[in-house]
Structure 1
Amino acid sequence: MLTTREPAVLVLEDGRTFSGRAYGHRGTTVGEAVFSTGMTGYQETLTDPSYHRQVVVMTAPHVGNTGWNDEDDESGRIWVAGYVVRDPAIRPSSWRSRRTLEDELDAQGVVGICDIDTRALTRHLRERGAMRVGIFSGADAELPRPELLHRVQDAPEMAGSALAAEVATKDAYVVPAVGERRFTVAAVDLGIKSMTPAMMAERGIEVHVLPATTTLEEVRGVAPDGVFFSNGPGDPATAELQAELLRGVLRAGIPYFGICFGNQILGKALGFGTYKLKYGHRGINQPVMDRTTGKVEVTAHNHGFAVDAPLDRPTDTEFGSATVSHVCLNDDVVEGLEVRRGGNGGKGRLVAFSVQYHPEAAAGPHDAAYLFDRFTDLMLEFSEVPV
């Protein structure tokens, strides 16, 4: 583990700075500053492709306790642009640990900073909103602050960024069903986490993971019983290609399930707008109500954008009646959509649904895992009585 703690500095685009010590790889990084409220699960967070080009600030004060293992990665690499912690663990304490968190950050070139007041930084982001940030260690930390601020302000903003294709698979691959194959799903990878196809496979689903730029013809080539759109990074306003693909899926009468970015794309396909949240939802302790059951779930979130859909009424669309199915109890942000055909007031047959949060949460909580069962039930219903 790295033991030398050179000076480091964190510079926000509004000019506020925090002095600390180098953590992880030494050097320079820039990205969007966001904070995560999870007290555990940092390995899953770091390897989540949805964090591409973001500098993650951990609100939990002590990070790195369980080290790094070879089983919990949600993708093939760390995706965060930078990492901010208050007190790094001196040594890991877990029988599953293979190396320290800092060693893994250094090996993968992830620049971080420690020994700063993350509480003050989080409060600043809550008040001012997510913004661009730079972390500078080594020789760069000694450069004049105006020069460092200029580098931060020159970095691209998250609004307007199309990033899904940068993190998605370039080649299609198959995750086989566990046991007997019951269904086939075409999963469009926009930044998919490995736990998602694994949880489908456990339910007898053969998952064909397709690139972000896949076409309707390629989806049809899988002969799917259902279509799935994954989580992913970037501004959903840039995802018109995927929204048009989804419109084709809905016109074809194929059952649909989406997570996170897949929820925002369903919103776009239905004609709703999207917008950037002030500081987003990130962490594994966010309360959401499933309005179809009245139950409250504690859920894992990672989103900086949301769908602008009415909470108080269904909306008639080309594809059926669209309703907000889930809502965040902290701020009434739309956390899920469903589309039904036939009936009145959104009471018809379910044909598509999505959630803004992460039911596949590997680090927990697992309150929302039932949504994968809802998807299999939907495909079963369609297989018996096609729409």
Structure 2
Amino acid sequence: MKSIRQTSLLYIFFFGLLSTACKKEEPSQTNSGFDQGILITNEGLYNQTSGTISHYDPEQQLVQNRIFKTTNQRDLGNVVQSINHFGEHTYIVVNNSNKIEWVNPQTFAEEGQLLQLQQPRYISPINDSLAYISQWGNDLLSGSIAIFNYQIGEQVGQIEGLGKGPERLLPYNNMVFVCLVGGLDTDQRLAIINSQTHQIDQYITVDDAPNSLQLDQNGLLWVACSGKAVYSNYPQIDTANSTMGSLIAINPNSKQIVHQLNLAKGQGAKQLIRNANGSQLFFIHKNAIYLLDPNQPSIREIKSGHYYGLGFDNENNILYAARYMGTESAWVDRLSSPNFILQDSFRAGIFANDFHFQ
């Protein structure tokens, strides 16, 4: 019996062992700048330097792939996990290269690096000078938070002993909620950090593998838990030994659970995102896209398929959904609100995952 904790790591590692023959690259197209439109992280193949960034201009319907490499004449790195913009720079987390890079938002020229991190995952600012970087640790079990001063471009501290697999972060008042997805093992908790003292304040126990979180329009904190997936013969799930996934709503002030929606064993919720006001939340379940109405609360499927990453364009009310395509570059579907009809699609990079809307 084989237990797999992180589906994304499994996909990337498996296809990284396949043929690495390169497809002919599309000719690059010019753009007035990369500080408008949508940025997409493409993880690439595990233990290769095929991770990239794509830029999509929705007005011109123009996609440009490999923009970091085109601008800087070098590869970005191994497993491009996530991207964020704050202060004067755009920050790119390169997980298996153990670094973050920051670039000029308009030109995408490199302006700095923070090296020797420990399997970093996500970065989020907590005030006007500091950001937290979630890290799984070099053993993928010893989770921590790197404290990064983005005004000077240096790591200035670290919060140790956090738990297994710190993943997405959500600042709230003087707290930061951190999902503990489990790394190569299992965890069932949210860590709450005091962002003024950088001390762990408390934990909230949820279900196995909490991976993403969002605030709804009522001020409740929703947490997506994928559950522990155990495979008898991949991708066949051993339901007897897998655990239930769920969507859990927490009052962030009282820290009490107020709603719980249970999902299938080993096939719970991941990639939880929201629209502009938090009246609708979206997530991936059984590879399909689901809508969560937080007021009922209730869920429904809105698009079947084999989806890997989600993002929501608040300005144009369009849901972006990256389809899993193995070693091929991913297709990104654009679904228009309110009925989420497929509007069009475009090609990004391998394992398109994280979206940043500017």
TM surpasses 0.5 = no
Which structure: greater helix fraction?
1
Larger radius of gyration: 1
Greater RCO (Cα-Cα under 8 Å, separation 6 or more): 1
Which structure: greater strand fraction?
2
TM-score, normalised by the number of residues in structure 1? 0.29
